[in-house]
Structures are given as C-alpha cells and as structure tokens.
C-alpha cells in the first residue's frame, strides 16, 4: 500500500512537472511568435518609411523645373555655365 | 537594426545623388543647334558667347537665349558698335551707381544674326513677314554688366512673359 502511495505521488509529481514544462514551452512559443510578429511589423514599417522617403525625395527633386534644357559656351567650364545662367536670370529679373 | 538603417541611408543617398546628377548635369547643345548669333561671336576675342537653350521663364514658358559677355574693354566696344548700344551720359551713369543693372531693350532686325543672308535676301514682303513672325530677336544690353542678352522669341507668350508688363504700363 505504501509502495502504491509512493508511486502515485511520483506519477503526480511527474505529471505536474510535465504540465509545467508544457506550460513554459507554450509561453516561450507564444513569446517567440509575438517577438517575430513584432520584428516583422517593425521591419515593414521601417522599409515602408524608407521607400516613402525615397519616393518623396525623387518626386520633389524631379518636380523642380530645371533652369535650362541645354547650354553651350565657348569656354564651357561648369563655373562659366552657372555664371551665364546667373547673368541671364539677373537680366530677366531687371527687364 | 543598425544594418537596416545603413542600407536605408545608402539607398536614399544614391537616389538623391542620381536625381541631382540627372537634373544638374550640364547638357550641351551641338553647334548646329546653337543660334547663328552664337556662332558669329564664338571665336571673337574679348567676348564670351553662351547659348542657353530652353531657359525657363515663369512656370511653363521657355526661351532660347544668346548671351554675349564682354571680357575686355575692346570686347565691350565691339558689342556696343554691333548692337548700337548708346553710351550713357554722366547723369545716367550716376543713376547706375545704385547697384541695379541698367537694361536697354531693342528689337533686332531679322537678319541681324547672319548679315550675309541680308545681302542675298530678295525683297519679298510675304517672306519678310513670315520671317519676322517666326522669330523676334529681343536684345537686352547692360552697361554695368557689360553684356548683351538676345532672346529668341517665337511666341507672343514668351514676349509677354519677358516684357509684357512694360506694354501694360504704356497702355493702362
């Protein structure tokens, strides 16, 4: 009878341990899933914001009208080109 | 997380640089596309010629401009002679000291760009009318800037955008 009692207690303990382990595992799994979900959402949000910023940047820069279509100078350095455009702007402004 | 930010910054920087390059990279016209006036002054000493194709005036209009800038006193004398730019008297010169450039407007004859065509040109009123209605050369010269800017005007809207407000002031 005593032997049976011991066995029953052992079995009960084993069952309790098993239940605890399962519960811990379940909690861990749920935590993992939650963490993965959170990471996925954060990643999506990050890349969404980046893509939106990139599109906004391209559109805003592209939307600004370029000053000239093309240009030719007999001393065609970049500084000469900018100076010619600046002088033309000044003349147009003072017309 | 940090790697993600680095990638994002890299993408944004590449996008910005690409757009800026496309937008501000100097686009050069071939000599054939440039105005006869530009070609005429291309190799003159003391004058720097520039041809600006499609200069934006206002939001939607564009006009081609030939800019002739004197780089020496002899170059400016040459431009004054060619474009009949009057020399300002002393009182006018005193007025020019306020920092704003003086601008003198004049409309050039149709064959001004290439005088050789004028000799070959047979007087034909209809042809003359067509020529003048196709393009008007509006010259804006400045003593203070020592340059002449010639606008190649092809539409009335371009003319209005440039000097229309003067006409409005004359005809209230």
- Domains of chain B, residue spans: 28-170
Q: Can you say how many angstroms the Cα of residue B127 is from the centroid of all Cα atoms in its chain? A: 26
> With contacts defined as CB-CB under 8 Å, which chain B residues touch A68?
27, 52-56
Q: Does an H or E element contain A17, and which?
A: helix A2-63
> With contacts defined as CB-CB under 8 Å, which chain B residues touch A95?
103, 105, 140, 162-163, 166
Structure confidence at residue A21 (pLDDT) = 93
Structure tokens given for B34: 């440039």
Q: Quick check: B64 and B53 in contact, CB under 8 A? A: yes
How far does A26 lie from chain B, in Å, by closest CA?
Answer: 28
- Cα–Cα distance, B146 to B76 (Å, whole number): 6
Q: Can you say how many angstroms the Cα of residue A55 is from the centroid of all Cα atoms in its chain? A: 14
ipTM, interface predicted TM-score of the complex: 0.73
Structure confidence at residue B16 (pLDDT) = 82
Structure tokens given for B152: 């190649």
- Cα–Cα distance, B165 to B159 (Å, whole number): 10
Whole-prediction pTM? 0.64
Determine the average pLDDT of the residues in A21-49: 90
What Cα–Cα distance (Å) separates residue B89 from each residue in B79, B82, B94, B108, B143?
Answer: 18, 20, 9, 23, 12
């Amino acid at each position: 009878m005593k032997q049976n009692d011991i066995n029953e207690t052992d079995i009960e303990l084993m069952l309790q341990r098993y239940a605890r382990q399962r519960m811990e595992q379940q909690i861990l799994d749920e935590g993992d899933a939650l963490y993965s979900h959170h990471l996925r959402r954060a990643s999506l949000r990050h890349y969404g914001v980046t893509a939106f910023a990139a599109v906004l940047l391209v559109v805003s820069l592209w939307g600004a009208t370029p000053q000239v279509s093309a240009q030719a100078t007999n001393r065609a350095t970049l500084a000469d080109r900018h100076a010619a455009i600046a002088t033309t702007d000044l003349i147009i402004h003072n017309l | 997380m940090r790697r993600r930010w680095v990638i994002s910054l890299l993408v944004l920087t590449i996008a910005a640089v690409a757009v800026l390059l496309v937008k501000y990279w100097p686009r050069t016209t071939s000599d054939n596309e440039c105005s006869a006036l530009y070609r005429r002054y291309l190799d003159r000493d003391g004058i720097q010629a520039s041809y600006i194709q499609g200069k934006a005036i206002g939001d939607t209009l564009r006009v081609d401009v030939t800019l002739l800038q004197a780089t020496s006193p002899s170059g400016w004398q040459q431009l004054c002679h060619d474009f009949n730019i009057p020399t300002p008297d002393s009182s006018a010169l005193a007025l020019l000291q306020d920092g704003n450039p003086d601008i003198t407007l004049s409309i050039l004859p149709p064959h001004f760009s290439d005088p050789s065509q004028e000799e070959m040109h047979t007087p034909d009123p209809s042809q003359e009318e067509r020529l003048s209605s196709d393009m008007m050369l509006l010259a804006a010269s400045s003593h203070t800037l020592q340059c002449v800017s010639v606008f190649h005007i092809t539409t009335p809207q371009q003319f209005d955008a440039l000097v229309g407000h003067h006409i409005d002031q004359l005809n209230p």
